[in-house]
Amino acid sequence: MTQLIYPEESYQIVGACMEVHTNLGPGFLEAVYTEALMLEFEERDIPYEINKEITIHYKGKPLHKKYYADFLCYDKIIIELKAVESLTPANTSQVLNYLKATKMKLGILANFGEPSFHYNRIVR
């Protein structure tokens, strides 16, 4: 049996996302869910950074091109928000790239665009 990575922290994050979706439902822009999730994280004392800059390295040298993860929670979990009809493999690849660039182990891809809140835990 595989042990979950950061189970308590991810449970708290997903719970906050579900609360936002329950209150707003689908149909808003990603920016609306981002702002609401910031408030929910603050209410629940979940530490976060928003639009966390991610530097990509090539042969040990930083590239000028940067990625920006929607959230970094607990200094170890990347959260990427979407507000789309359904998630695609490209969405998953985006989170995997963030994990690879940061050498972090867990990303949560959260989609607020579906009638029921949907998320994927992505492990590197």
36-81 per-position pLDDT tens digit: 999 999 999 999 999 999 999 999 999 999 999 999 999 999 999 9
Taking residues 24-39, report their average pLDDT.
96
Q: CB-based burial of residue 14 (10 Å sphere; 0-12 exposed, 13-18 middle, 19+ buried)?
A: middle
- Does residue 2 carry a pLDDT above 80? no
Can you give the pLDDT at residue 66?
Answer: 93
Stated pTM of the model: 0.93
Can you give the pLDDT at residue 34?
Answer: 97
Q: Are 119 and 15 in contact (CB under 8 A)?
A: no
3-class DSSP assignment, residue 56:
strand
Can you give the pLDDT at residue 69?
Answer: 95
Can you give the pLDDT at residue 1?
Answer: 54
Can you give the pLDDT at residue 3?
Answer: 76
pLDDT tens per residue, range 79-112: 999 999 999 999 999 999 999 999 999 999 999 9
